[in-house]
Structure 1
C-alpha cells in the first residue's frame, strides 16, 4: 500500500488550518453546517484508512500466514504499523462510546429537571446561573432561577431567543456530529470546538435579529458569562470573541468562503478511494493465492 492510506490523517491537519481562516468572516450558519460536514467526512475517511491498515494483520493468521514465502505477492504494511492502526481504531471507538453516553446521560438529567410549560420553558430552582437548550421531541429551554435573578426583562428575552434558536436549527445534532468526528480522530478536536463556537454565534445572530439590538445581545452574553464564572468569562476567548463579533455588523459572506475546506475534504475523499482500491487489490492477490 502506498502513501495514500496515510494521507487522510495528514490532510486532517490541513483541514483544521484552512478552516480557521475560511470561517473567520463567514456567516455562522454557513460555518456551523460546513465545518460539521467537513469534520464528519474527514473522520470517516480517517477511520476507513485505519481499518485498511489494521486488516493487513490478517496476513499473520492461517491460512494466509503460510503465503508469506510466495514470490510476487504484494506486501502489506509492516506489522507495527498495522498494530498502531488497530490500537487507534480501538481507542477511537472507546472515545466515541464515552462521548455518546455522556451526551445521552446529560440530556436525560436535564429533561428530568422539570416539565416544560406551554411556551416550552422549564424554570429550575438552581442557584447556578444557566440557560440550556434541551434537545428532544419536543425540545425545551431550561433556565435556572440563578440566571433569571441576574438578568433584567430585556436580557431574559435575549437568552430565550438565543436558546430557542439552538432548538429551532437543531444545533445539538451538528455539535454532536463534530464531537463524534473528534472522538474517532483527535486531530479534529479544533474543528469540534469551532463548530460549538459557531453554533453559539449562530444563536447570537438569531437573537440579535429577533431583538433588533446587537449591543444588548453583546451585553447579555457578557453578563451571563460573568454571572456563571467571572474568572472564566474574563479569560475565556470564546465569550470575548462572541461579544466582539456582536459589536460589528452582521457577517454577510457567502458559502463560497468554505470552498477551500471543501476542496480539502474532496482531496481526503479522493485519496481514501485510492487507498481502498489498493487495499482491494492487495486482498484479492492474497485471497486468490490462498
Structure 2
C-alpha cells in the first residue's frame, strides 16, 4: 500500500476549488446536483481510504504479529499512520451522526412552530422569515412578521420560492453535502456552495412562475435585509445564502454557459473512483499475503 490508498485523500483537496469554478458557469440546478454528487463520491472515497488504512492495524495483533520479521511480505502502512486513520474515521462518523441529529431536531422545532393548512403554516412571530420545512408532507413556514413585510406580489414570490425547495427536494442535496463535509472536513466549503446554488435554483423557479425577475430580486433583498439574524436556520429560506449575489443574478444579464466546466468535476470524480478501486485491489493483495500465512 504505497500510493493509491492516499490518492482519494489528496484529490479531496481539489474538490472545493473545481466545484466552485464549475458553479460560476452552469445553471444552478445542474451545478447543485453535480456539486452534491462530487462531494458524495469524495466522502465515500475518503472513508474507504481511511478504512483500509485503519484495517492494517491488525498486522500488529496476534497471530499476524508473529510474521513481522518476514521480509518477503508486502509491508502495510506504519502503525502510527493506521492509528491516526482510525481516529479520523471515528471522528468523521461522529460528526455525521451529530449533523443528522441536528437537522432532525431543527426540522422538528420548525414543524412545531405552526400547524400546516393547505401546505402553509403561519407562526405568530414578529421576526420576519420564511422557510420550507421538508416532511411527509412538507410545508412552507412563514411568520406574521414576514407577511406584514411583503406586499401581495412579493408574497407570491416568497411562496413560489419556498415551494420550489419542497418540489425539488433541495433538503436532500443540502443534507448529503452536509454529511459529506462532516465525514471529510476537506470538503468544508462545499455545503455553503450548494446552499447558495439551491437558493439560486429556487429564485429562478420563482422568476419563471411570476415572469418578473426584478420582482424576485426585490423580494429577496427585502426579506434578506429584514431577516439577517436567521442565517442559522437550515437552507431553504427566502432570506438564505448570499443574498447580494442572488439579487445580482436576477438583475444582471445572464452570462454564457461554459459546459466544459463540467469536465473538471467529472474527471475528478472518476479519478477518485478509479483510485479507490485500485487501492482496494492493492489492499486485498496485501491482506491475502498476510492471511495466507495464518491459514
The TM tier, using the shorter chain, reads over 0.9
- CA contact under 8 A between 1:175 and 1:196: conserved in structure 2? yes
CA distance in 2, matches of 1:61, 1:229: 55
Using the TM superposition, give the Cα deviation of residue 231 of structure 1 relative to its aligned residue in structure 2, in angstroms: 12
CA distance in 2, matches of 1:122, 1:249: 36
Aligned residue in 1 for 2:76: 76
Using the TM superposition, give the Cα deviation of residue 256 of structure 1 relative to its aligned residue in structure 2, in angstroms: 5.0
Which stretches of structure 1, 4 residues or more, deviate above 6 A after TM superposition?
A: none
Aligned residue in 2 for 1:273: 277
Question: Secondary structure, in 3 states, of the residue corresponding to 1:23?
Answer: helix
Higher relative contact order (CA 8 A, sep 6+): 1
Using the TM superposition, give the Cα deviation of residue 251 of structure 1 relative to its aligned residue in structure 2, in angstroms: 6.3
Using the TM superposition, give the Cα deviation of residue 277 of structure 1 relative to its aligned residue in structure 2, in angstroms: 0.8
Aligned residue in 1 for 2:32: 32
Aligned residue in 2 for 1:259: 263
Aligned residue in 1 for 2:160: 161
CA distance in 1, matches of 2:130, 2:260: 34
CA distance in 2, matches of 1:230, 1:188: 26
Using the TM superposition, give the Cα deviation of residue 252 of structure 1 relative to its aligned residue in structure 2, in angstroms: 6.8
CA distance in 2, matches of 1:108, 1:42: 30
Distance 1:71 1:267, change over 3 A: same
* Pairing 1:91–2:72 present: no
Q: Deviations over 1:214-271 (max 9, x none)?
A: 1111111111111012898xxx981111111111245673765322101111001111
TM-score scaled to structure 2, two decimals?
Answer: 0.93
Aligned residue in 2 for 1:105: 105
Q: Aligned-pair RMSD on alpha carbons? A: 1.8
- CA contact under 8 A between 1:57 and 1:79: conserved in structure 2? yes
CA distance in 1, matches of 2:126, 2:10: 46
TM-score scaled to structure 1, two decimals?
Answer: 0.94
Count residues with an aligned counterpart: 286
* Pairing 1:239–2:243 present: yes
Question: Secondary structure, in 3 states, of the residue corresponding to 1:143?
Answer: strand
Of 186-195 and 199-208, more deviation after overlay is shown by 186-195
CA distance in 2, matches of 1:133, 1:252: 31
- CA contact under 8 A between 1:39 and 1:188: conserved in structure 2? yes
Unaligned runs of 5+ in 1: none
Unaligned runs of 5+ in 2: 232-239
- CA contact under 8 A between 2:25 and 2:259: conserved in structure 1? no
Aligned residue in 2 for 1:222: 221
Aligned residue in 2 for 1:15: 15
